[in-house]
């Protein structure tokens, strides 16, 4: 009987530990009177543009979330994701800040990792 209990405890522990992978999440937020636009390289989403665009705020939404599967944002994932970006543009009422250099985009994204396991990447206008 004791062996059966130990077996079930081990099975339950393995099941719990393997089911605890965090969700890799990208969150794009815009503070009041600001805007974030992310231009991605790749397939066209509109006939008149050669870039994918993520724009916040849009249609009253001040936050958008994108899921990238399970895991965290290690340096290699940041490098791969930033390679798919053309630029990140921040607008506020006084100025426009544009990140176009891949090294600048990587450095910015590395600083924006949040969460216990760095599973949330937050791009936010201030």
In a domain, 14, yes or no: no
Tell me if the bond preceding 57 is cis, omega within 30° of 0. Answer: yes
For residue 33, being part of any structural domain is answered with: yes
> What pLDDT is attached to residue 79?
93
pLDDT of amino acid 20: 65
- What backbone phi and psi angles, to 5 degrees, belong to 15? -60, -45
Residue 2 to residue 23: CA distance in whole angstroms: 37
pTM of the predicted structure, to 2 decimals: 0.74
What pLDDT sits at residue 47?
40
Confidence at residue 69, expressed as pLDDT on a 0 to 100 scale: 86
C-beta separation of 23 from 116 below 8 A: no
In total, the chain counts a number of residues equal to 126
How far, in Å, CA of 47 to CA of 54, rounded? 16
Instruction: Walk across the sheet containing 96-99 and list its strands.
Output: 52-56, 35-40, 85-91, 96-99
Number of domains in the chain: 1
Q: What are the 10-residue block averages of pLDDT along the chain, 126 residues in total?
A: 77 63 87 89 50 77 87 91 91 90 95 90 89
Residue 4 in any domain: the answer is: no
- How much is the pLDDT for 46? 44
Select from 72, 73, 54 the least CA-distant residue to 64: 54
Q: Identify the domain containing residue 85 by its residue range.
A: 22-125
Q: Residue 8 falls within a domain, yes or no? A: no
Asked if residue 123 lies in contact with residue 34, where contact means CB atoms within 8 angstroms, the answer is no
Extract the tokens encoding 49.
Answer: 């543009």
């Amino acid at each position: 009987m004791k062996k059966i209990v130990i077996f079930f405890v081990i099975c339950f522990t393995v099941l719990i530990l393997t089911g605890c992978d965090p969700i890799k999440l990208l969150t794009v937020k815009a503070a009041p009177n600001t805007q974030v636009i992310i231009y991605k390289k790749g397939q066209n989403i509109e006939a008149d543009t050669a870039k994918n665009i993520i724009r916040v705020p849009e249609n009253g939404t001040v936050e958008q979330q994108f899921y990238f599967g399970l895991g965290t944002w290690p340096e290699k994932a940041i490098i791969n994701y930033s390679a798919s970006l053309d630029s990140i543009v921040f607008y506020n009422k006084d100025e426009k800040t544009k990140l176009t250099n891949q090294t600048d985009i990587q450095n910015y994204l590395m600083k924006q990792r949040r969460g216990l396991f760095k599973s949330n990447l937050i791009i936010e206008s201030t």
